[in-house]
């Protein structure tokens, strides 16, 4: 390590610390901040974003990057990621970064009320400003990186994955779903309806249950919080992880599975290599990689027969009800129920990718200038009808349901389904490596799974890209057939 690289490492640690401060402010805005603080918070986040950008693009950095030398795989990867980050940062003027942060914050606050009242017109001008700035950002990044504008945005969420690679994967899944969904519905109908769980489920008891389960599967109490927000998420920092959810006293699964999902994200953050903390190579490998970790916990492990056999008696002891309702087979019917629904976050794992495919196509059209914000509700309805055969009755259950675009996150959505596919592939490899994994899940013990993920995913940080991470863990790049095999076994087996 020469002096230039050492200076860059120190500088990146400072940038990361400021980024952590911004992350906590974002969490607070969603979970704790009073409504009246929104305007001031927008200015705070904009100022912080501008400060971070100024530091990241300081004139001396280009010379230091040219002079820097790093030996060893980790340092070499770290330096390469620094150069990539600098290229993207210097493509954007500080004024654009601050304006985007300010517009995103303003739009997200208005979106909350617009969603609650299904009033798209209320948020439309704010979303138009967000999109205008996102198009400007995409164009600047494209010019610097040689990517298309949309790919340049995608690159910010998952390095090394382009729309051209995603398109055939999504098209193949759409074809699979066209045949699999009616068949799954037919099999499900023959099996008969599930017994309902008798509520209500008091929020205080749900909160206790969710916290206990997140700790049981490996999250440390000293490094995490569980709070409430309109849209569940995992935020904070690797040593101060913030999980949020929302509780419905009529529906136990919403918060329960939501917290298990977010705990998967949190465990990834906690498992990142501490020796490379606050360095680019010490971060997660991208959002598709991150989604694989939340979905391997929620969908692959927590909704498995093995884990449900552990969970059923625990739930019955806490909430009461019949033994038959909490039996493994009945919980599987309830929580692996296939249904053509309007809400992405409530979708089963068979239909969920259709929601992502819809958003992928719409946001590409928005960034490319082929779709105007004013035409978004109609395009949404047409797209959902083509994919699932249903039309949302209002915009709250249509284009207003997600926070992402209203917070400036364009290019994020493909990560969800790429992550689901990767989760199935990783779970297959984990089961092969850990023969006792399902027996452990039946005891409520995720230690074998978590240990395998720690060694094969978390410990790599972002030293490896998405495809190379999968190759290292499973012996092959992303293979969507593993996901289809998982869905076939779970939903299309008529036995």
Tokens standing for residue 210: 């969710």
Paired residues of 237 in beta bridges: 240
Which residues make Cβ contacts (< 8 Å) with residue 98, sequence separation at least 6? 46, 47, 49, 50, 53
Where do we find the tokens 């899944």? 173
Terminal Cα-to-Cα distance of the chain (whole angstroms): 61
Q: How many helices (H) and strands (E) does the chain have?
A: 20, 3
Picking from 176, 217, 267, 162, the residue whose alpha carbon sits closest to that of residue 482 is 176
Please give the positions annotated as active site.
262
Among candidates 2, 96, 11, 4, which has minimal Cα distance to 46?
96
Task: Please report how the helices 414-433 and 352-368 are oriented relative to each other, as an axis angle in degrees rounded to 10.
Answer: 140
Long-range contacts of 78-82 (CB under 8 A, 24+ apart): 78/9, 78/276, 78/279, 78/280, 78/281, 79/5, 79/8, 81/280, 81/281, 81/462, 82/8, 82/12, 82/280
CB 4 within 8 A of CB 205: no
**C-alpha closest to that of 466 among 482, 111, 457:** 457
Tokens of 181: 């969904």
Which residues, at least 6 apart from 476, have a Cβ–Cβ distance to it below 8 Å? 425, 470
Instruction: State how far the Cα of 172 lies from the Cα of 202, in Å rounded to an integer.
Output: 43
Q: Are 427 and 298 in contact (CB under 8 A)?
A: no
């Amino acid at each position: 390590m020469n002096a230039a690289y050492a200076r860059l490492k120190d500088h990146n640690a400072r940038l990361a610390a400021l980024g952590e401060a911004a992350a906590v402010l974002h969490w607070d805005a969603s979970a704790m901040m009073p409504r009246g603080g929104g305007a001031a918070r927008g200015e705070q986040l904009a100022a912080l974003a501008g400060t971070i950008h100024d530091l990241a693009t300081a004139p001396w950095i280009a010379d230091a990057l040219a002079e820097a030398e790093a030996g060893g795989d980790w340092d070499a990867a770290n330096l390469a990621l620094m150069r990539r980050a600098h290229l993207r940062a210097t493509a954007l003027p500080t004024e654009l970064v601050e304006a985007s942060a300010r517009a995103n914050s303003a739009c997200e606050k208005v979106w909350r009320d617009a969603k609650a009242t299904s009033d798209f017109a209320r948020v439309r001008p704010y979303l138009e400003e967000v999109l205008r700035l996102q198009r400007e950002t995409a164009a600047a990044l494209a010019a610097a990186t040689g990517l298309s504008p949309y790919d340049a945005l995608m690159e910010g969420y998952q390095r090394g994955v382009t729309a051209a690679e995603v398109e055939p994967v999504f098209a193949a899944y759409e074809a699979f779903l066209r045949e699999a969904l009616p068949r799954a519905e037919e099999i499900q109908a023959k099996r008969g309806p599930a017994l309902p769980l008798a509520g209500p489920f008091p929020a205080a008891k749900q909160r206790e249950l969710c916290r206990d389960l997140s700790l049981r599967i490996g999250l440390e109490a000293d490094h995490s919080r569980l709070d409430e927000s309109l849209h569940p998420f995992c935020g904070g920092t690797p040593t101060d992880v913030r999980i949020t959810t929302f509780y419905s006293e009529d529906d136990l699964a919403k918060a329960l599975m939501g917290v298990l999902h977010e705990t998967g994200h949190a465990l990834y953050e906690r498992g990142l290599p501490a020796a490379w903390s606050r360095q680019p190579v010490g971060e997660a490998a991208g959002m598709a990689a991150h989604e694989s970790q939340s979905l391997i916990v929620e969908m692959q492990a927590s909704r498995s027969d093995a884990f449900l056999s552990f969970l059923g008696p625990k739930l019955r002891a806490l909430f009461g009800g019949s033994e038959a309702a909490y039996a493994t087979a009945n919980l599987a019917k309830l929580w692996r129920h296939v249904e053509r629904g309007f809400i992405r976050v409530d979708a089963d794992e068979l239909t969920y990718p259709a929601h992502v495919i819809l958003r992928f196509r719409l946001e590409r059209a928005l960034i490319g200038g082929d779709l105007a914000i004013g035409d978004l509700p109609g395009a949404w309805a047409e797209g959902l009808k083509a994919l699932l055969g249903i039309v949302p009755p209002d915009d709250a259950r249509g284009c207003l349901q997600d926070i992402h675009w209203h917070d400036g996150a364009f290019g994020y959505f493909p990560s969800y389904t790429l992550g689901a596919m990767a989760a199935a592939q990783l779970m297959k490899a984990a089961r092969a490596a850990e023969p006792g994994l399902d027996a452990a899940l039946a005891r409520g013990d995720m230690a074998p799974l978590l240990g395998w993920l720690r060694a094969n995913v978390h410990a790599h940080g972002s030293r490896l890209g998405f495809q190379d991470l999968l190759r290292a863990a499973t012996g092959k790049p992303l293979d969507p057939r593993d996901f289809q095999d998982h869905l076939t076994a779970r939903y299309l087996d008529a036995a």
